[in-house]
Structure 1
Amino acid sequence: MTHWKSYHLLGESFADTDDAPASLFRWAVERVVDGLTDHDVYSQTVAKAATRQGAMQRAERRMLRLLALDADPVAELMRTAHDASAFQMRWNGFNRMAPLGVETRVSCDAGLRLQRETRAAGLQDEMREQAGAICVSHLMAEDSPLRQRNEEIRPLARHFGELGYANAALRDSVDSLYADPFAELDQCADAVGASRRTLQRAFTQAGLSFRLLRQAVRLTLASHAMCSTSGESITAIAHASGFFDSAHLVRAWKQSCGLTPSQYRSLC
């Protein structure tokens, strides 16, 4: 039985959640590791939001905020599309292969047009259709917050400056993990000049675990490499990004974006 999913940005845009720096950074990390949400959860979130006045306007404002922080492999795939034709190919290919409850196909030939096909049980509704159209239009826009990140290799490190997040130990840990994605907690503590207990406390305060942050760093490194023109093998990318072998990367990649690395790379 297929567990139908939805692209995380849609549901999160309607969610009634905290916008504190710690919460936003935690969202960015978690969505790299698990970038698709259950389709039913998305539907329930939209249904709840629909009872509030001005829900769509608030959702669009939040969507733009989250786009600036979105660092998961799907965001990287769309961000690096060099023109509308490439975006159309990548978006449609992702929608075709990923286990999405609604497949949304894009046509950019004569203005933006969307065609939706429901795979999961449940009714189509106007608000979800509108949310999908808004998401695609912002992903494609040249002035999109997502497209301002030219040649970005360390997106999670950039978030600290943008968010004004004051957790210095966590900030230094992000830098350390980008330098050595194989590092364990003790090695990371030594690199940032903190005790193991101090570093663990910093992660607890952020609502994160060391393993989750390290996995997110590894995935952002891998997605950048896959979308580049270097031509490295999946195995070489896995090792360079901190994964012990390609099998570990495959499992993490499917959890992150619903595709295998090979499927993903066929779209780059």
Structure 2
Amino acid sequence: MTHWKSYHLLGESFADTDDAPALLFRWSVERVVDGLTDHDVYSQAVARAATRQGAMQRAERRMLQLMALDANPVAELMRTARDASAFQMRWNGFNRMAPLGVETLVSCDAGLRLQRETRAAGLHDEMREQAGAICVSHLMADNSPLRQRHDEIRPLARHFGELGYANAALRDSVDSLYADPFAELDQCAGAVGASRRTLQRAFTQAGLSFRLLRQAVRLTLASHAMCSSKGGESLTAIAHASGFFDSAHLVHAWKQSCGLTPSQYRSLC
């Protein structure tokens, strides 16, 4: 039985959440590791939002804010599309291969057109259709928050700095893990000049675990490598360079992150 999913950005655009830097950074980290939400959860989030006036306007503003902080491999795939044709190929490929409750295909030949196929029923389909159209239009725009990025090998470090999050031990841990994604907690503490207890406290204050942050860092390194290598580097080499023990561990983490296997993902790069 297929468990139908939705890309996290859609449902969370309708959620009532705090804009505190700590919470936004935690969101960015969590959604690298687990980028798909249950289709029913998305549907229910839209249903709750539909009772409030101006729901779509608020959702669009929130979507743009979160889009700028989205470091999931799917975001990297769309960000690095060189033109409308490449975006169409990548977007449609992801929609066809991922276990999405609604398959949304785009055509850019004569203006932007969307074609939806419902795989799983949900509430307020019209609002969800509108949210999908808004998402695609912003992803393709030249001034998209996603396209304003350049060197994305360390996106979580950039997000931390842009949010102005005052947690120095956590900031240094992000930098340290990008330098050594194999590091354990004690090694990371030594690298940032903090005791194990101090570093654990910094993670607790952020609502994160060391393992979760490390996994997110590893996945962003792997997504950058896959989009950059164009199939020229083996999956095993990418896994090791990104901090994974072997390719099997990367495959498992990748499917949880974006609903695709690394091979499927690389076929779209």
| Cα distance in 2 for residues equivalent to 1:238 and 1:262 | 13
**Are the equivalent residues in 2 in contact too, given 1:250–1:260 (CA < 8 A)?**
yes
**Are the equivalent residues in 2 in contact too, given 1:118–1:124 (CA < 8 A)?**
no
**Are the equivalent residues in 1 in contact too, given 2:47–2:123 (CA < 8 A)?**
no
- 1:254 is aligned to 255
Cα deviation, residue 113, structure 1: 0.5
| Cα distance in 2 for residues equivalent to 1:187 and 1:66 | 32
| Cα distance in 1 for residues equivalent to 2:25 and 2:202 | 13
Query: SS at 2:147's partner residue?
Result: helix
Segment of structure 1 superposing worse, 224-233 or 91-100? 224-233
Cα deviation, residue 185, structure 1: 0.1
Aligned residues: 268
**Are the equivalent residues in 2 in contact too, given 1:32–1:256 (CA < 8 A)?**
yes
**Are the equivalent residues in 1 in contact too, given 2:46–2:123 (CA < 8 A)?**
no
| Cα distance in 2 for residues equivalent to 1:71 and 1:134 | 19
**Are the equivalent residues in 2 in contact too, given 1:21–1:165 (CA < 8 A)?**
yes
**Are the equivalent residues in 2 in contact too, given 1:181–1:242 (CA < 8 A)?**
yes
Segment of structure 1 superposing worse, 208-217 or 144-153? 144-153
Cα deviation, residue 152, structure 1: 1.3
Aligned pairs for 1:46-125 within 5 A: 46-122=46-122, 125=125
Cα deviation, residue 28, structure 1: 0.1
Q: Structure 1: which 4+ aligned runs deviate by more than 6 Å? A: none
| Cα distance in 2 for residues equivalent to 1:150 and 1:81 | 13
Cα deviation, residue 121, structure 1: 3.0
| Cα distance in 2 for residues equivalent to 1:245 and 1:172 | 26
Deviations along 1:75-121, one digit per CA (max 9) or x if unpaired, are: 00000000000000000000000000000000000111100000013
Segment of structure 1 superposing worse, 25-34 or 113-122? 113-122
Deviations along 1:1-31, one digit per CA (max 9) or x if unpaired, are: 1110001100010000111000000000000
Cα deviation, residue 123, structure 1: 5.2
- 2:177 is aligned to 177
Query: SS at 1:227's partner residue?
Result: helix
**Are the equivalent residues in 1 in contact too, given 2:44–2:123 (CA < 8 A)?**
no
Query: SS at 2:215's partner residue?
Result: helix
| Cα distance in 2 for residues equivalent to 1:181 and 1:222 | 11
**Are the equivalent residues in 1 in contact too, given 2:43–2:124 (CA < 8 A)?**
no
Cα deviation, residue 124, structure 1: 5.9
**Are the equivalent residues in 1 in contact too, given 2:181–2:217 (CA < 8 A)?**
yes
1:155 matches 2:138: no
Relative to structure 1, is the Cα distance of residues 120 and 169 closer, same or farther in structure 2, using a 3 angstrom cutoff?
Answer: same
Deviations along 1:131-173, one digit per CA (max 9) or x if unpaired, are: 0000011111111011111131000000122101000000000
> Could you list the runs of 5+ residues in structure 1 that have no partner in the other structure?
none
| Cα distance in 2 for residues equivalent to 1:108 and 1:32 | 28
| Cα distance in 1 for residues equivalent to 2:161 and 2:78 | 24
Alignment identity in percent?
93
| Cα distance in 2 for residues equivalent to 1:45 and 1:12 | 8
Cα deviation, residue 122, structure 1: 3.2
Segment of structure 1 superposing worse, 213-222 or 147-156? 147-156
Aligned pairs for 1:108-257 within 5 A: 108-122=108-122, 125-229=125-229, 231-257=232-258
Cα deviation, residue 238, structure 1: 0.2
**Are the equivalent residues in 1 in contact too, given 2:46–2:124 (CA < 8 A)?**
no
Deviations along 1:31-51, one digit per CA (max 9) or x if unpaired, are: 000000000000000000000
| Cα distance in 1 for residues equivalent to 2:82 and 2:110 | 18
| Cα distance in 2 for residues equivalent to 1:85 and 1:233 | 27
**Are the equivalent residues in 2 in contact too, given 1:218–1:242 (CA < 8 A)?**
yes
> Could you list the runs of 5+ residues in structure 2 that have no partner in the other structure?
none
**Are the equivalent residues in 1 in contact too, given 2:3–2:99 (CA < 8 A)?**
yes
**Are the equivalent residues in 2 in contact too, given 1:8–1:36 (CA < 8 A)?**
yes
| Cα distance in 2 for residues equivalent to 1:142 and 1:209 | 36
